[in-house]
Structure 1
């Protein structure tokens, strides 16, 4: 079973109300905050921690950031790559992933950044590939409006072509560093890319040799039809969102099928749904904790977060007014739209439907498991049997959620033989059991090899 910690570069959790919890730490602008969590996760033998990210505050609602700032709705978004490296400094095995957008960066920059971090961590880095969501991000990055959904994925496909091509610039044994002969590297084993496509041009070679794990792990959260196809081609770890086990089994099969359709071994794609875990010494204590945590959510949390990911200002329309077909086609997050339509049974849901059916900003947004350590392990084992390869654990308080899980649930999973007791190697690929893909050769270098 894979275990991944879901983090934000503010309060380290997807649950926006967690900062209000009386036991949550508030020193999230210091390295010590993240390093404490990193040590906890590594002691528990977690596969990795990864940071979600956006390139703007959630300020679509009312076209104003005031409510976001006042209520702490993911207002602080310090650079996750920098935070990742502070965590790497106090760990030796824990994988570390960071979100980076294919919509607003250039492939060469991303390829060099993540290849460098992978070297500096001994091969423990993952890139969470995203296409970004909204016009606020576009405005911050010098654009008038956000790209349309499928066009973002078309750009992302080519972006990954370029990045993985650049990561293949150096063969594994290209670096020589022989002082006696004066040969630093073998030029026949360092290759140009010479990519020229619809969105990008990149000559190469990337001036960064390969790491101990070959190249960073690719993490992605594709759930729409286009997103699943993208994940099938590229993702090595998929961050999923399930509401029911039946829906999870279907999505799990769809993702594995997409990998097979792309010519990949489905077993080399790991699928892990988000889960909030609330643990008590007794079932009644766990339920009391759940009720208290649920009460931390505010209505503005849901409204602001929905506007952020749908790229629609709910403040400008009546609460009960159904969206038109044209408006629904234009929302940014298609899989969330489809989930609300399916759950409500309404072809044209309203703002109220989106708020109530999505659970956005509440503990009901994703799968939530609560109970004693044994009850939690029972539920995780059941889901693991046929609906996932592991879980992305989202904390509801910091650091208590991770510490409770590490202290109470991990030993029970280990006792059942469902989770490791030691790391199998040093790299993230060793941990997740997914080898690096073959080197990607450009048409030019392939021709040279044939000659």
Structure 2
């Protein structure tokens, strides 16, 4: 019997002035907002007004969207080149909100587990249990060059490292039992020595003794989010993740991914409802279809062909600059940078017989994610179909431009989802785990210590 929930989950991926490739050129946005705390505070409060489960911040540790070897003349035409460090911004946003979850990205390739464990535990304490960690392995040579590397690690090695990295972080979060700090002033005892755990991890990539110099987070573990859709990514998610952000353009593709990932979980002793699958969805909302089409058309007209070719070249891993725009998109497969996304775009171009320019326009908004353009009713229809058809447990909204794209969804689509009984009208809890219906995890170190004591 299916354990699929009766109400869907909603997150919003906050990306500068919007997800559309040309959003920064539109008069609908304010230039410089991508480095304005006031802008992000308004967005987080808007998401909270819409009763969203969470806000989500991506990240890269280089100049974002920089295709390797791109000419400066093209580089200067790209938007979203600068952005805040996520944990700093989310900590500030935690003081401006009370309920919405706060999910930030941190790379397992260019960080150390102790740092990540400490930062996200701190955010969970600061926000009273609203933190989530989006686990990524990074995707570009430009990042490698900022961290003493001449080459980016291979795909397989990145995921081996990531698996070990997550295990170390979880172990560090569980360094202390929930009631370890007794603070007995009369006896002068600050903590119970039987309730602190050194993890003493020794592995292929990390040697970490512990314990973490911070008490156990309010949620036990901040929610673990993952976005990989390759086989290695799906295995990591099935074993460790609690939310998966993925790109699936069709209902059939979404259902296949949903079943594949949920079916893998039993191998790791996990139940399907311990993981929420939330595909990205790019929405352009209008009170009429014509209004929505006009908004989308306005953004599409601003796409610079040179920028589009650079973006598609980076995503596919092949240099398209020498091809005419009206040529068919050359066939290709995965690469060392990414595997699932190039394959998705390859399948899209083949299925719809797209030229290079048509492919650019098809992914200019959502970079391969599902695109919905229409009235609140039409958008709600498609979200409902995918949710009830078990292609998704919810969705991660990717507004085309900000703040207007998010405000349109909150003001027009959320009420329609609520009218249908598909989305909450009020928060029922205060933590991100409460919103997502996820249990507070047991302390893994305590479980192991108890098992050893009984052996």
Structure 1 portions without partners, runs of 5+: none
Residue pairs, 1:239-250, within 5 angstroms: 239-250=245-256
CA distance in 1, matches of 2:181, 2:147: 37
Q: Which residue is 1:19 aligned to?
A: 24
1:4 maps onto 2:4 in alignment: no
Moved more, 311-320 or 380-389: 311-320
Deviation track 1:130-153 (CA, whole Å, cap 9, x = no partner) reads 000111100011111001111100
Q: Which residue pairs with 1:380 in the alignment? A: 383
For normalisation by structure 1, the TM-score amounts to 0.91
Relative distance call for 1:407 and 1:173 in structure 2 (3 A) is same
Q: Deviations over 1:208-244 (max 9, x none)?
A: 1112211110111121111111111111000011111
| Paired position in structure 1 for 2:217 | 211
Counterpart for residue 4 of structure 2: none
Q: Distance in 1 between matches of 2:330 and 2:208?
A: 42
Greater mean alpha carbon deviation, residues 237-246 or residues 274-283: 274-283
- Report SS of the residue matched to 1:71: coil
SS at match of 1:59: coil
Q: Does the 8 Å contact 1:135/1:311 carry over to 2?
A: no
Question: Is residue 291 of structure 2 the alignment partner of residue 285 of structure 1?
Answer: yes
Is this contact kept in 1: 2:22–2:302, CA < 8 A? Answer: yes
State which of 148, 151, 159 in structure 1 corresponds to 2:154: 148
SS at match of 2:187: coil
In 1, Cα distance between the equivalents of 2:133 and 2:217? 14
Q: Which moved more, 1:90-99 or 1:179-188?
A: 179-188
CA distance in 2, matches of 1:442, 1:341: 47
Shift of 1:450: 3.9
Are the equivalent residues in 2 in contact too, given 1:51–1:97 (CA < 8 A)? yes
Q: In the alignment, which residue of structure 2 is the partner of 1:43? A: 49
2:133 to 108, 127, 138: 127
Cα displacement (A) at 1:93: 0.4
CA distance in 1 between counterparts of 2:253 and 2:337 reads 22
CA contact (8 A) 1:4 1:46 kept: yes
Aligned counterpart, 1:332:
337
The answer on 1:367 being equivalent to 2:374 is no
In the alignment, is residue 56 of structure 1 matched against residue 59 of structure 2?
no
The superposition leaves residues 166-201 of structure 1 with CA deviations (integer Å, 9 ceiling, x where unpaired) of: 111111111222322322111111100000000110
Distance in 2 between residues matched to 1:357 and 1:90, nearest whole Å: 38
Q: Which residue of 1 aligns with 2:437?
A: 433
Number of the residue aligned with 2:182: 176
**What SS class does the counterpart of residue 259 from structure 2 fall into?**
helix
- Residues 326-379 of structure 1 deviation map (CA, whole Å, 9 limit, x = unaligned): xx5643111123224434459xxxx96698289443357321112222222112
Give the RMSD, CA atoms, in angstroms.
2.7
Aligned mate of 1:160, from 166, 173, 179: 166
1:11-48 per-residue CA deviation (whole Å, 9 max, x = no partner) reads 3x332322222111233322111101111111110000
The one-character-per-residue Cα deviations of 1:83-125 (angstroms, maximum 9, x if unpaired) are: 1122111101010111100001111111111111111110101
Match of 2:410 in 1: 406
Which shifted more, 331-340 or 232-241? 331-340
- Tell me the matched-pair count: 443
Per the alignment, residue 232 of structure 1 pairs with 238
Counterpart in the other structure of 1:31 = 37
Give 5+ residue unaligned stretches, structure 2: 1-7
Deviation larger for 160-169 or 72-81? 72-81
CA spacing shift, 1:5–1:330, aligned 2, 3 Å: closer
Report the Cα distance in structure 1 between the residues aligned to 2:363 and 2:315, rounded to whole angstroms: 10
Q: Is the 8 A contact 1:126 1:217 kept in 2?
A: yes
Deviation at 1:281, TM superposition (A): 1.5
Secondary structure of the structure 1 residue equivalent to 2:372: strand
Alignment partner, residue 397 of structure 1: 401
Q: 2:281 aligns with which of 275, 280, 292?
A: 275
- Within the candidate set 250, 257, 260, 1:251 is matched to 257
